[in-house]
Chains A and B, each alone.
Chain A
Amino acid sequence: MSQVSHALPTRPSVSLAPTQAVTLRINGQDHLLQIAPWTTLLDALREYLDLTGTKKGCDHGQCGACTVLINGKRINSCLSLAVMQQGEEITTIEGLGTEEQLHPLQQAFIDHDAFQCGYCTPGQICSAVGLISEGRARTEDEVRELMSGNLCRCGAYTNILNAVMEVVRNELKTGS
């Protein structure tokens, strides 16, 4: 038998960093928050702004469920602190479309049954929006590869590919 001790070898200090004011521009609207500096962008959205469309699947940058767009570029919002995104244009799934007026990718996901439980879906869609604006993906293999930062445990990959390809093809048609 042996004794082990969990956590810090010494007692924790009781001092905490104070909260601070942070302004985030999300889906075209400014939001003023008073939060601890270590609050992630993901938690700021979900816990402080009730923008729960952005999902948490790991909190460690390993699953893509938390994907949002910063100035049009896709990032994992769990890997960014909210304070780092002041002054940037943040777009979340709520900013892409509504149930009455769906974004073409949202419509394509429904048409192709590109989800089951729906938990990875907002991240997949935001990621696909970012992917299309990157202009790098034209073929199925490219889309598969460049959508591989977004895990789907339900295994909807075949239909996700088809949904994204439909929109990619339309973009290529109208864009060129």
Chain B
Amino acid sequence: MSQTIATSPSIHLGTDYIGKPTSRVDGPAKVTGAAKYAAEFNVPGLLYGYIVSSPIAKGKITKIHAEPVLTLPGVVRVFSHENVPSLAWFDRSYKDDVAPGGSPFRPLHEPKIRFSQQPVALVVADTFELARYAASVLEIEYETEAHDTDLETKRDNGYEPARGKLGWVPPPPPRGNSNDAYHNAPHQHEAEYIHLAQHSNPMEMFATTVEWLNDGQKMNIFDKTQGAYNVQSYITKVFGLSKEEARVISKYTGGGFGSGLRPQHQVFLAVLAALDLQRSVRVSLTRQQMFSLGHRPHTLQYLKLAADDNGALAAVQHAALAETSRFEDFTENVVNWSGMLYQCENVKLDYQLAEIDANSPIDMRAPGAATGSFALESAMDELAYKVGIDPLEFRLLNYADRDQNLKKPFSSKKLRECYHQGAAKFGWDKRTPKPRSMREGNWLIGYGMATGVWDATQLNASAKACFDADGRLTVSSASNDIGTGTYTIMTQIAAQTLGLPLEAVTFVLGDTNLPEAPVQGGSMTAATVGTAVQAVCRAIGEKLLKLAQQMADSPLKGANFEDVQFVNGQIRRNEDTKQSVVIRDILPAAGEAQVEAETSTLPDLLKQSHYSLHSHNAVFAEVKVDEDLGTVHVTRVVNAVAAGRILNPKTARSQVLGSVVWGISMALMEESMMDHGFGRYMNHNLAEYHIPVNADIHNIEVILVEEEDDIVNPLGVKGIGEIGLLGVAAAIANAVFHATGKRVRNLPVSIDKLV
């Protein structure tokens, strides 16, 4: 069964909000411009810092001519490695919660240049215009060293990373004998799949406003981040501050997609300047400087797949070589999915890194999986053609009912339903298998499909709740809302748990003065923070029940928490719902102003340990390719997603719609082109780094497949921020092959590769 999604204003009867399409509670603030992002806190006496970026990729700074710039009236300071005060000494102080192995980059730490566009100085002035001008005329001399930024030349220099970051799992050991199985199988396919680096480029550029508070050394740090606590822990360790001295606030984040998981250098620079000058300071990146941040790494993948005459997979070999920096081992799960998505006894997976002179990569929406799934799902399509089976049929034939990597069953897996519902809605049965067999005039038509899988994760989180005598509930946790809908779904969970109208509930996030929550990433926020919010509201409910039982002639006397329900503003007995107390009456009757609770929740690891926890999807795409010009239009996409319980179909659908746009972008447009002569991304702006515009997007349909799961977490949610992206690029590349007979294994599928 698929859920129907209303796009009209949501009308609710009662207080059952979970699973109902609900408009964003932060919508009014966002559409009126009232929502304030990091660079928008115009505190009095603000100074502006402008970053100077290195024009060379490798070498060292030999001289910084700061004096002429400092004579400009209104220029306050030029910070560089020459004058930065001594800070924390050990690498571990610079390691944030999600740092990869190695030595994190330390801004303005030393004259050494490790990557092009590395921040080398910060010019601070009274106005933004002056800081920008002064930065443009700051003369810096460098000594260059030969750099190497080309992964293609590193095919023999790969190494297996010994250490990874949070969430990285080394490939499982080989099973069976994939070499023999491959050679003995009647149908074989091997090929290399490639994509260059890609940059997240959220619309809001990275920025920090530090508000210097005159009571002591205290600062409010308004930062663009996906994790306020992660930034606070980094800042306090690096600058030797207490938590009270460095409050990090991030109420609205203009997109993240992974780029805000780690503290970025603007927050370091803004805090450095504020501490030194004892003033409020703002530092914003330019769009060009956004390309100095981490990126999805340039990755080369080699796939070998074999099948028998019936289409059963005989062997899977998937090897990846990804770039990393010279100072950190950035790792992501690229190949592991190929050992679990299909049933196969003979599997060998390899993952290697090679160092280049660039900044460390960083997670970018569905990190690793987006890369791996493109290669695996393209290769599956190619092998299906060799065996002579329909690509959907081929996947159903090799459906995995157990996770063979972990040797465990799935906690739930409604991928079959995704295939069936998606294919039916798309009209897959109208596809004629032969390439170039479908056309409309000059348009070659192609149908392609692919599959995706992503982790369902829950981490530890805390939440606080306060219910007051006038019937208002405030729930808080230092999570984030990067556009994912956190504000809204947490409000829904809280309102339903306590049977309150949505309007009576406020959810607060993005502030280190609130209970701790992990970074917003990995599609784990709904499960992680949602569980904490539900638990803390239950704790409030228990307190309210106790007080209600003390009311004169209380109909709830003697009832346990399990015997009652919180619905429509009342606590009612389950067996006789007329026996009820109005929740708003409880505190006034008890003479209390408010009740409070704080709770921490953690995953039930024991229960989870017997299962493999994942979300799945099936994507079907239609492309039209102009036979003469090679232009590709993605005219239809159907994305069927099984991601556990859907808390809010309205915002969940938007997440998947956005993911499809990302998939179209990855398939047809995105690439950060490195000029190896300069060691720099040459298309570092939004005119030349292509992403879709409105006219590029046509019909997208989202199916949220019903999936129940009481193992992943109490709410049964798996998260939906990344799963929708998986399979999209491969489905489009497969559709392009079906349309044109041309197989493009080197993303993006651009015109020059088709004509």
Residues in chain A within 8 A of chain B (CB atoms): 1-8, 11-12, 14, 16, 35-36, 38-39, 43, 46-47, 50-60, 62-63, 65, 92-94, 96-99, 102, 106, 109-113, 115-122, 125, 141, 143-145, 147-162
With A119-B202, A160-B694 given, name 9 new contacts (CB 8 A). Answer: A12-B138, A53-B33, A53-B34, A58-B686, A111-B7, A153-B202, A154-B255, A154-B654, A155-B658
A57 touching B55 in the complex, CB below 8 Å, given contacts A16-B133, A109-B31, A116-B484: no
30 residue pairs A–B, Cβ–Cβ below 8 Å? A1-B144, A3-B143, A4-B142, A4-B144, A6-B139, A6-B141, A8-B137, A8-B139, A11-B65, A16-B72, A38-B133, A47-B128, A52-B33, A52-B37, A55-B204, A58-B686, A63-B686, A93-B31, A97-B31, A99-B29, A99-B34, A117-B252, A118-B29, A118-B254, A119-B202, A121-B31, A125-B31, A147-B694, A155-B660, A157-B696
CB of A51, distance to nearest CB on chain B (Å): 8
CB of A68, distance to nearest CB on chain B (Å): 11
CB of B410, distance to nearest CB on chain A (Å): 29
Q: How far is the CA of A143 from the CA of B659 in the complex (A)?
A: 22
Pair A116/B139 contact, Cβ less than 8 Å: no
Please give, as numbers and ranges, the residues of chain B lying within 8 Å of A113 by CB-CB distance: 7, 23-24, 650-651, 653-654
CB of B11, distance to nearest CB on chain A (Å): 12
Pair A158/B140 contact, Cβ less than 8 Å: no
Q: How far is the CA of A71 from the CA of B697 in the complex (A)?
A: 31
Q: Kindly supply a per-residue 1/0 record for chain B positions 48-76, scoring 1 wherever the CB is within 8 Å of any chain A CB and 0 otherwise.
A: 00001011100100100100110111000
Question: B563 on the interface (CB 8 Å rule)?
Answer: no
Closest partner residue, chain A, to B224 (CB atom): A119
Q: How far is the CA of A90 from the CA of B363 in the complex (A)?
A: 40
Q: How far is the CA of A12 from the CA of B73 in the complex (A)?
A: 13
A-B contact count (CB 8 A): 249
CB of B332, distance to nearest CB on chain A (Å): 21
Pair A53/B62 contact, Cβ less than 8 Å: no
Closest partner residue, chain A, to B203 (CB atom): A119
Question: B444 on the interface (CB 8 Å rule)?
Answer: no
Q: How far is the CA of A134 from the CA of B299 in the complex (A)?
A: 46
Closest partner residue, chain A, to B202 (CB atom): A153
CB of A29, distance to nearest CB on chain B (Å): 16
Instruction: List which B1-47 residues lie within 8 A (CB) of chain A.
Output: 7-9, 23-24, 26-37, 39-40, 42
CB of A86, distance to nearest CB on chain B (Å): 18
Question: B379 on the interface (CB 8 Å rule)?
Answer: no
Q: How far is the CA of A56 from the CA of B141 in the complex (A)?
A: 31
Please give, as numbers and ranges, the residues of chain B lying within 8 Å of A121 by CB-CB distance: 30-31
**Those 9 A-B pairs whose CB atoms lie nearest each other, nearest first:** A53-B33, A155-B661, A119-B254, A116-B483, A117-B483, A118-B30, A12-B137, A155-B658, A52-B40
Pair A162/B7 contact, Cβ less than 8 Å: yes
Q: How far is the CA of A14 from the CA of B9 in the complex (A)?
A: 58
A153 touching B31 in the complex, CB below 8 Å, given contacts A5-B139, A6-B55: no
Question: B655 on the interface (CB 8 Å rule)?
Answer: yes
Cβ contact of A118, chosen from B127, B287, B483, B694, cutoff 8 A: B483
Pair A4/B55 contact, Cβ less than 8 Å: yes
Pair B694/A161 contact, Cβ less than 8 Å: yes
Pair B141/A60 contact, Cβ less than 8 Å: no
Pair B657/A159 contact, Cβ less than 8 Å: yes
Please give, as numbers and ranges, the residues of chain B lying within 8 Å of A110 by CB-CB distance: 9, 23-24, 27-28, 31
Pair A151/B144 contact, Cβ less than 8 Å: no
Pair A117/B287 contact, Cβ less than 8 Å: no
Pair B203/A53 contact, Cβ less than 8 Å: no
Pair A57/B32 contact, Cβ less than 8 Å: no
Cβ contact of B697, chosen from A56, A93, A157, cutoff 8 A: A157
Please give, as numbers and ranges, the residues of chain B lying within 8 Å of A46 by CB-CB distance: 39-40
Residues in chain B within 8 A of chain A (CB atoms): 7-9, 23-24, 26-37, 39-40, 42, 52, 54-56, 59, 62, 65, 68-69, 71-73, 127-130, 133, 136-145, 200-205, 252-257, 284, 286-287, 482-485, 650-651, 653-655, 657-662, 665, 685-687, 691-697, 700
A156 touching B658 in the complex, CB below 8 Å, given contacts A5-B139, A102-B31, A119-B37: yes
Please give, as numbers and ranges, the residues of chain A lying within 8 Å of B254 by CB-CB distance: 55, 117-119
A157 touching B694 in the complex, CB below 8 Å, given contacts A8-B139, A54-B33, A116-B655: yes
Pair A58/B685 contact, Cβ less than 8 Å: yes
A16 touching B26 in the complex, CB below 8 Å, given contacts A113-B650, A148-B694: no
Residue picked from A3, A149, A150, most chain B C-beta under 10 Å? A3
Please give, as numbers and ranges, the residues of chain B lying within 8 Å of A154 by CB-CB distance: 203, 255, 483, 654, 658
A14 touching B68 in the complex, CB below 8 Å, given contacts A106-B31, A113-B24, A116-B484: yes
Pair B55/A62 contact, Cβ less than 8 Å: no
Q: How far is the CA of A110 from the CA of B26 in the complex (A)?
A: 9
Pair A148/B142 contact, Cβ less than 8 Å: no
Please give, as numbers and ranges, the residues of chain A lying within 8 Å of B651 by CB-CB distance: 113
Q: How far is the CA of A74 from the CA of B33 in the complex (A)?
A: 17
Pair A117/B482 contact, Cβ less than 8 Å: yes
Cβ contact of A12, chosen from B30, B36, B139, cutoff 8 A: B139
Please give, as numbers and ranges, the residues of chain B lying within 8 Å of A150 by CB-CB distance: 693-694
Pair B31/A115 contact, Cβ less than 8 Å: yes
A57 touching B204 in the complex, CB below 8 Å, given contacts A4-B55, A5-B142, A119-B254: yes
Pair A155/B662 contact, Cβ less than 8 Å: yes
CB of A160, distance to nearest CB on chain B (Å): 7
Cβ contact of A153, chosen from B144, B253, B691, cutoff 8 A: B691
Q: How far is the CA of A98 from the CA of B33 in the complex (A)?
A: 9
Please give, as numbers and ranges, the residues of chain A lying within 8 Å of B40 by CB-CB distance: 46, 52
Please give, as numbers and ranges, the residues of chain B lying within 8 Å of A117 by CB-CB distance: 202-204, 252-256, 482-483
Q: How far is the CA of A155 from the CA of B33 in the complex (A)?
A: 19
Q: How far is the CA of A57 from the CA of B26 in the complex (A)?
A: 21
Please give, as numbers and ranges, the residues of chain B lying within 8 Å of A162 by CB-CB distance: 7
Pair B143/A1 contact, Cβ less than 8 Å: yes
Closest partner residue, chain B, to A105 (CB atom): B31
Pair B700/A158 contact, Cβ less than 8 Å: yes
Cβ contact of A144, chosen from B36, B142, B691, B697, cutoff 8 A: B697
A7 touching B204 in the complex, CB below 8 Å, given contacts A106-B31, A158-B700: no
Please give, as numbers and ranges, the residues of chain A lying within 8 Å of B696 by CB-CB distance: 148, 157
Residue picked from A39, A121, A125, A149, most chain B C-beta under 10 Å? A121
CB of B641, distance to nearest CB on chain A (Å): 15
Q: How far is the CA of A143 from the CA of B698 in the complex (A)?
A: 12
Pair A159/B7 contact, Cβ less than 8 Å: yes
Closest partner residue, chain B, to A8 (CB atom): B137
Pair B700/A65 contact, Cβ less than 8 Å: no
Please give, as numbers and ranges, the residues of chain A lying within 8 Å of B660 by CB-CB distance: 155
Q: How far is the CA of A115 from the CA of B24 in the complex (A)?
A: 9
Q: How far is the CA of A96 from the CA of B685 in the complex (A)?
A: 30
Pair A102/B697 contact, Cβ less than 8 Å: no
Q: How far is the CA of A46 from the CA of B40 in the complex (A)?
A: 7
Please give, as numbers and ranges, the residues of chain A lying within 8 Å of B655 by CB-CB distance: 116
Q: How far is the CA of A121 from the CA of B483 in the complex (A)?
A: 12
